[in-house]
């Protein structure tokens, strides 16, 4: 048997039902092909913050608060995908 051409599946999530459906589909594909699953949530930051990093200036202190809030918001999304990945023990 040859190795699967699919090694890793990446799926973005944003908390929407469409994203959760896509993640569910990605989990099923990962199981089918024995692939890894990479779930990502990207955060758009103000363009002026990005330019600070480009020039080596320190980020404003409130960036930590923004990232922490985004992490708390996204945590249940990732938990939902993790639950989908767990094999069902009922049945």
Write down the pTM of the prediction.
Answer: 0.67
Give the pLDDT confidence score for residue 21 in this predicted structure: 93
16 touches 45 (CB < 8 A): no
Q: Which residues contact 8 (CB under 8 A, 6 or more apart)?
A: 35, 36, 37, 38
Residues in the chain predicted with pLDDT less than 70, given as ranges, are: 1-2, 45-61, 86-91
Between CA 3 and CA 7 the distance in angstroms is 9
Give the pLDDT confidence score for residue 35 in this predicted structure: 92
**Residue 44, SS3?**
coil
Give the pLDDT confidence score for residue 63 in this predicted structure: 75
**Residue 57, SS3?**
coil
Give the pLDDT confidence score for residue 11 in this predicted structure: 94
Give the pLDDT confidence score for residue 85 in this predicted structure: 76
Between CA 70 and CA 28 the distance in angstroms is 27
């Amino acid at each position: 048997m040859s190795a699967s051409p699919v090694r890793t599946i990446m799926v973005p999530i944003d908390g929407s039902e469409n994203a959760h459906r896509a993640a569910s589909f990605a989990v099923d594909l990962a199981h089918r092909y024995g692939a890894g699953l990479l779930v990502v949530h990207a955060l758009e930051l103000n363009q002026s913050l990005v330019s600070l990093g480009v020039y080596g200036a320190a980020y404003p202190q409130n960036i930590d608060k923004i990232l922490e809030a985004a992490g708390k918001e996204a945590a249940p999304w990732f938990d939902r995908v993790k639950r989908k990945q767990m094999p069902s023990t009922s049945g």
